[in-house]
């Protein structure tokens, strides 16, 4: 006979399985590769050599154009799906706390929301990888603008776009604070790590999280501005955010710093793959 306890136990066993953990390692490496490619495209944009979108779709397009591009995209996509499943297992693991009270329920809800958000991000990246692997990829900035235009047509759609922008800004600020306070270390079990590895992952996180946070905050600001001006073209995603940084005073230097920070986050994901402790 099955029940909530059985489901929770099964989720826990799935979340702790060696097969899923090894796939999650592949996924974290894939996630790191995507960020390194975005950093490279951002550097090219900063110094006049950018032809592709400096975002996830541009990263996937870069991989697709390489000699081993399509097989590699399938590997990246499968790894990212594994990361999404990893987070879904987390949702099920915290399900028993939803009906609790006080701090226990608060912690369970917080962990659940965080896991769902991560699962959506990983699944979206996997979908992008698979689309480019099958030759059907397209610019994510254009897709975001089309989506925003469609949402504007809904009742209250303008407010939804603005609210989404505020949420993304909040996530960006959270990343900056997370890097500054080094709270990302709570998500990694470094008990068996040598001191050099702990120092490396700490420095990479301190640089990578704030840089990614700045990029996300600009993305959110563009969505808010799109809502204020009622212009979906302003909701241009990460590529638009990085171009906005480039257009600012001292834009080349600022974009270079952001790109290096995003590269540091990519390298952080590689080290994180060595210690894939669930969050």
Tokens representing residue 39 in the block: 């950093």
Provide the mean pLDDT of the chain. 84
| Whether 269 contacts 32, CB under 8 Å | yes
pLDDT in tens, 168-217: 999 999 999 999 999 998 888 787 888 888 899 999 999 999 999 999 99
Q: Where are the domains of the chain?
A: 141-278
pLDDT at 93: 83
Please check the confidence at residue 81 and state whether its pLDDT lies above 60.
Answer: yes
Buried b / exposed e along 25-43 (16+ C-beta atoms within 10 A) = bbbbbbbbbbbbbbbbbbb
Residue 10 has pLDDT above 50, yes or no: no
122-148 average pLDDT score? 79
pTM (2 decimals)?
Answer: 0.82
Q: 108-112: long-range contacts (C-beta < 8 A, 24 or more apart)? A: 111/279
Give how far Cα 232 sits from Cα of 137, 143, 245, 266, Å.
21, 11, 19, 30
Structure tokens at 47: 């110094």
pLDDT at 135: 82
- Integer Cα distance of 161 and 235 in angstroms: 9
Q: Name the residue with higher pLDDT: 44 or 68.
A: 44
Q: What is the pLDDT of residue 205?
A: 95
pLDDT of residue 78 exceeding 80: yes
Q: What percentage of residues in the chain have a pLDDT greater than 70?
A: 87
Number of H helices, E strands in the chain: 10, 0
**How far apart are the C-alpha atoms of 192 and 203, rounded to whole Å?**
18
């Amino acid at each position: 006979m099955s029940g909530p306890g059985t489901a929770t136990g099964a989720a826990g066993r799935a979340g702790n399985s060696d097969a899923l953990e090894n796939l999650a390692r592949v996924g974290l490496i894939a996630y790191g590769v995507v960020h390194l490619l975005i950093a490279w495209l951002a550097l090219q944009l900063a110094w006049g050599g950018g032809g592709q979108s400096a975002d996830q779709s541009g990263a996937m397009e870069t991989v697709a154009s390489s000699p081993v591009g399509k097989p590699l995209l399938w590997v990246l996509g499968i790894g990212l799906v594994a990361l999404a499943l990893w987070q879904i297992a987390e949702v099920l693991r915290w399900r028993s706390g939803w009906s609790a009270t006080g701090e226990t329920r608060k912690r369970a809800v917080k962990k659940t929301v965080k896991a769902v958000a991560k699962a959506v991000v990983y699944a979206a990246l996997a979908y992008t990888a698979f689309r480019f692997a099958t030759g059907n990829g397209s610019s994510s900035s254009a897709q975001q603008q089309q989506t925003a235009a469609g949402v504007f047509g809904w009742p209250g759609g303008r407010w939804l776009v603005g609210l989404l922008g505020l949420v993304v800004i909040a996530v960006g600020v959270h990343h900056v604070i997370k890097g500054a306070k080094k709270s990302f270390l709570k998500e990694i079990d470094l008990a068996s790590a040598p001191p050099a590895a702990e120092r490396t992952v700490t420095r990479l996180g301190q640089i990578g999280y704030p840089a990614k946070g700045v990029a996300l905050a600009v993305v959110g600001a563009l969505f808010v501005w799109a809502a204020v001006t009622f212009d979906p073209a302003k909701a241009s995603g990460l590529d638009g955010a990085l171009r906005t940084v480039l257009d600012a005073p001292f834009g080349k230097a600022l974009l270079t710093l952001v790109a290096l920070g995003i590269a540091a986050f990519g390298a952080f994901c590689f080290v994180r793959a060595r210690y894939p402790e669930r969050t």
